Amino acid sequence: MVVVQSQKPEEVKKPIDDENVNEQKQSVIKSIENISREVTSIQQRIDEYIAKRTELNTDIQNLSQIKQSLVLMQSNISQKMEEHKSFLLKYNLDINEVVKVDFRLNLIEDKIKSLTKQRSEIVESLDGDDNLYDKKKKKEEEKKAKENELNGPERMYQKYLSEIEKWNKRCNDILGDDQTEDTINYYKKYSIISTIILNKN
């Protein structure tokens, strides 16, 4: 975090408006601000999709492991039933009546298919044709072209706004929250919990 703080962009003062600033320049500045908001919105969607994709990968993996465990359990039960089948027949007992087990693994398979479909849709949004990264890049190019229409001080100020926004996002990503792993606030929360547990013991 200290390293990131040391990389904070040097502040650039907003140019003082004067009466000679024409409507066209004001329109350009307004367009840059609107495009910046669009870029931020697209980046937020990208971040949300990436987080969701990670979550889906974990869910699919966990369900697949559970399914494999149940398949093994089913096989073990079938084997045990077969072992005891002949013995129970001596007492006119049917092993299939004695043991009733219903493995509905198709329910897990259906859930895996559903989650996989969701993941595919997210991957398409991130990596497919006309994906979010391409949309963001086009908007950034559009913004840069608009910035080039401004004079030196105004252009430097718009560049500063863009850089400080990126810097703030990096800081927020590192700080995170107490629900997001590998962030400062997450570790702070569990550090406090660990301290409380140790004190109780």
Q: Based on the fold, state whether residues 35 and 74 are members of the same structural domain.
A: yes
Residues 191 and 128 in one domain: no
Same domain, 131 and 40: yes
Residue 68 lies in a domain: yes
Residue 93 belongs to a domain: yes
55 and 122 housed in the same domain: yes
Query: Are residue 64 and residue 95 in the same domain, yes or no?
Result: yes
Whether 101 and 176 share a structural domain:
no
Query: In the chain, how many domains are there?
Result: 2
Residue 20 inside a domain? The answer is no
Neighbours of 116 (CB within 10 A): 13
Residue 11 has pLDDT above 80, yes or no: no
Is there a domain that residue 174 lies in?
A: yes
Q: What is the mean pLDDT of residues 82-104?
A: 95
Long-range contacts of 112-118 (CB under 8 A, 24+ apart): 112/60, 112/63, 112/64, 112/67, 115/56, 115/59, 115/60, 115/63, 116/60, 118/52, 118/56
Spell out a b/e string for 68-102, using b for 16 or more CB atoms within 10 Å of the CB, else e: eeeeeeeeeeeeeeeeeeeebeeeeeebeeeeeee
Residue 171's pLDDT is what?
83
- Domain span at residue 44? 26-138
Tell whether 21 is covered by a domain.
Answer: no
**Residue 129: which pLDDT band, with cuts at 50, 70 and 90?**
confident
Note the pLDDT of residue 150.
81
Model-level pTM?
Answer: 0.69
Tell me: do 64 and 111 sit in the same domain: yes
On whether both 118 and 166 belong to a single domain, the answer is no
Segment 23-60, tens digit of pLDDT = 777 888 889 989 999 999 999 999 999 999 999 999 99
- Domain end call among 86, 114, 138: 138
Choosing from 117, 138, 159, the residue where a domain stops is: 138
Does 76 reside within a domain? Answer: yes
Measuring CA to CA, which residue among 146, 158, 168 is closest to residue 24?
Answer: 146
Identify whether residues 62 and 99 lie together within a single domain. Answer: yes
Q: Are residues 154 and 64 in the same domain?
A: no
CA 179 – CA 173 distance, rounded (Å): 12
Residues 76 and 96 in one domain: yes
Same domain, 120 and 199: no
Cα–Cα distance measured from residue 52 to residue 118, given in angstroms and rounded to the nearest whole number: 9
